[in-house]
Amino acid sequence: MAVQINPSILSADFARLADEAKAVEGADWLHVDVMDNHFVPNLTLGTPIVEALAKATDTPLDCHLMIEEPDRWAPAYVEAGAGSVTFHAEAAAAPVRLAREIRAKGARASMALKPATPVEQYEDLLPELDMLLIMTVEPGFGGQAFLDIMLPKIRRTRQLVAKHGLDLWVQVDGGVSAETVERCAEAGADVFVAGSAVYGAKDPASAVRGLRGQAEA
C-alpha cells in the first residue's frame, strides 16, 4: 500500500498560489478544496483558479468538491485540468453516473463521506470509484481537530476494499498531522490530506516528508 501525501492549498497563501504549489513539490497531489457557501458554510474557488493552478505546477490536482449539484459541476473540473475529482455522496443525485462521467473524461473518480455518512450504504458502488474520501472533520474549514471517532470507519472501509479485492485508495482529510497520521495509517488510510500541518510549518516540503515517513512506518 503506497502512501501518498496531498497538501491542501486551503491553508496556503491564496495571493501566492503558484509559489505555494511549488513549495510542496515532492508531494503526490495538490489537494484543492472547492466550496460553494451552500454545501458548506465557506466559499473558496472555482474552475478558473483550478485551470491556472494546473498550468502553474506539475503536481497533479486532487479537487475536493464541497458543493451542491456536483452532477452538474464536477465534469468541468476535469476539463479545467484536475487529475482526480471528488464529489460528496450527500450531494450527488446520481453518483454512479457521475463517477462514470468523470472517468470517461479522463480523471480519477472519487467520492467523499461526511462524518455522519456510513460507508456501508455505498458498498455496492465502490467498484465505480478510484478513491473514497473519509472526512475526519466536518467539511468547511482547515485547522479543525481530528475526529478520532472516524477511525473505525476507516478500518471498515479498508475491510470492504479487501473483501471485494478492489484497487481503491482510501483518503483521509481533516486534522491530519504529525499527531494523528499514524493512527490513520494504522486504520488503513493510504492517501493523506494535510492543510495546516503542511502550510503552517516553516518548511512545507519537509513537513510533507515528515508525514510520509510517519505514515509509512
Burial class, 155, CB count within 10 angstroms (exposed 0-12 / middle 13-18 / buried 19+): middle
28, 36, 62, 173: the active-site residue = 173
Contact between 212 and Zn ion by CB under 5 A: the answer reads no
d(CA 14, CA 158): 35
Is residue 31 at the binding interface for ligand DX5, with CB under 6 A as the rule? yes
Stretch that binds Zn ion, among 52-60, 63-71, 93-101, 147-155 (CB under 5 A): 63-71
- Going by C-beta distance under 8 Å and a sequence separation of 6 or more, which residues neighbour residue 202? none
- Known catalytic residue: 173? yes
Per DSSP, the three-state class of 133 is strand
Among 4, 24, 29, 33, binds Zn ion (CB under 5 A): 33
The footprint of ligand DX5 on residues 150-209 (CB under 6 A) is 173-176, 193-197
Active site residue 13: no
Residue 162: which residues within 8 A CB-CB, separation 6 or more? Answer: none
Kindly tell me the sign of the dihedral angle through the C-alpha atoms of 138, 204, 32, 129.
negative
Whose Cβ is closer to ligand DX5: residue 106's or residue 143's?
Answer: 143
Known binding positions for a divalent metal cation: 31, 33, 64, 173
Known binding positions: 8, 31, 33, 64, 140-143, 173-175, 195-196
Which active-site residues does the annotation give?
A: 33, 173
Residues forming contacts to Zn ion in the complex (CB under 5 A) are: 33, 64, 173
